[in-house]
Amino acid sequence: MGAPYATLEQMEPGIARLLAHNPSPFTFTGTQSYLVGTSEVAVIDPGPDLHEHLDALEAAIAGRTVAAILCTHTHRDHSPGASPLASRTGAPIIGCAPLSMETVGPRADASFDPDYMPDRVLEDGESINIDGLKLTAVATPGHTSNHLCFALEDSGALFTGDHVMGWSTTVVIPPDGDMAAYMASLEKLRQREDRIYYPAHGPAVTKPAQLVRGLIGHRMQREKQILRLVGEQPRSIPDIVARAYPGIDRRLTGAAGASVHAHLLDLHARGLVQLEGEQWAPSKAE
């Protein structure tokens, strides 16, 4: 069965989903944009700047007022559609902060959208009104430092972007991705009692509490495994990846290495490991 590109899916009253045609090992079937509201709408994660997706969004909006275009974060599969959609609809771009990454050097990251320019940045806990509904920003750094989830108040729905997804664990890529922040953001979601998550990739999550507990457990297992591996002998990141992710899709080894690196940086900050040349080892006791 083919994925429902350019087909509006009504998830529940006031929440509809539209899938962009940008499938990849990192985006699953593609980026899902959400339309929230009925007589007036907000668009969450307009997605990549793809003509056919913007056309499909415009058709789904069907002449209604767009109160806001919201971005959860500024990876290239999420925010580049914001500016062209704003031109088409006159709507303001509201949501996560822009992030300037270098184009060369240690903080360079080609996965970021350098052109994202919001009209208004939402801080943690700030809300906007859409069609009598309230959308509230929930700051969830980790996948990126500027990541926001959006809660539709009184509905129990949380738009989780790339922070929590049903199809796969998120990637945490240093230097902008931060494992300690990601774990704290998972804990933040664990303490909320949302009914359902609508992620930017993959199916809606109907048992959010269970999934978040599982993700926290998964990362703690991974951390233990990394500590055990470097405890056996000093190891490089590729060596750790080969042992911790047997049989991984070759296209994902870079992301796995970044995730391991993110864990190691977190463990280092906690005084548990140290770098010796190219190899990671347990910290020596004082």
- Residues that bind Zn ion in the complex, under the rule CB under 5 A: 75, 162
Nearer Cβ to Zn ion (75/261):
75
Of 84, 78, 82, 38, nearest in space to 61 by CA: 38
> For residues 52 and 74, is the Cβ–Cβ distance under 8 A?
no
Terminal-to-terminal C-alpha distance of the chain: 59
Q: Which helix (H) or strand (E) holds 4?
A: none
Q: Least CB distance from residue 78 to Zn ion, whole Å?
A: 6
Q: Least CB distance from residue 170 to Zn ion, whole Å?
A: 7
Residue nearest to Zn ion (CB): 75
Q: Least CB distance from residue 142 to Zn ion, whole Å?
A: 11
Q: Least CB distance from residue 235 to Zn ion, whole Å?
A: 28
Tell how strand 65-71 and strand 40-44 pair up.
parallel
Q: Say how far residue 273 (Cα) sits from the centre of its chain.
A: 28
Nearer Cβ to Zn ion (212/240):
212
Q: Least CB distance from residue 147 to Zn ion, whole Å?
A: 8
d(CA 56, CA 6): 5
23's tokens:
């499938």
Nearer Cβ to Zn ion (89/146):
146
Q: Least CB distance from residue 92 to Zn ion, whole Å?
A: 22
Nearer Cβ to Zn ion (18/240):
18
Nearer Cβ to Zn ion (113/162):
162
Q: Is the peptide bond before 23 cis (omega within 30 degrees of 0)?
A: no
Nearer Cβ to Zn ion (14/95):
95
Q: Which three-class secondary structure state does DSSP give residue 47? A: coil
Phi, psi dihedrals of residue 18, rounded to the nearest 5°: -135, 125
17's tokens:
């989903």
d(CA 203, CA 180): 26
Q: Least CB distance from residue 74 to Zn ion, whole Å?
A: 8
Nearer Cβ to Zn ion (155/160):
160
Per the listing, tokens 């920003």 go with 137
Of 124, 126, 121, nearest in space to 79 by CA: 121
The single-letter DSSP state of residue 145 is T
